[in-house]
Amino acid sequence: MSISNENCRPSICSVIGPVSASKEVVVFKAHKKVLLKKVELLDSAAVSASESVYVSAQLKKNGSNLGSAVDTKAGVAARVALLLGSDVALVANDVLTLALTVASTGALTQASVCVDEHILGS
């Protein structure tokens, strides 16, 4: 088996830090054409289920919503919320941001976001 971009995709993880108030953070800027394969939100601690105390996360591409928002209402036992489960193409200078909305006293202890990409060319 040869090593290729498809078999060994680059994965970029960025620390967001503690989240106790709503904010939007840049998680990825494309410098060339890429195909996003997966985007995950991780936290250092499991998040308990709650209908009133939660964090909602929405990916955005150049300011427009990308996919559906995910939240921690059902809890996040595995400490991972899949934000993007299907491929999304980006061209040079596209910016991927993550909008985190905190309801009541919801919080993430030490949040990070990981982006798996497949480089398409220059």
Both tokens assigned to 65: 């919503």
CA distance 60 to 26: 9
CA distance 42 to 31: 24
- How do residues 17-41 score in pLDDT, each as one tens digit? 999 999 999 999 999 999 988 888 8
CA distance 60 to 44: 23
pTM summary value = 0.84
Structural domains in the chain, CATH included, are 11-121 (2.60.120)
What confidence tier does 119 reach under pLDDT thresholds 50, 70, 90?
confident
- What pLDDT sits at residue 68? 84
Residue with tokens 């800027």: 29
- How do residues 70-107 score in pLDDT, each as one tens digit? 888 888 766 677 777 678 999 999 999 999 999 988 88
Q: Is the pLDDT of residue 1 over 50?
A: no
Q: Is the pLDDT of residue 6 over 60?
A: no
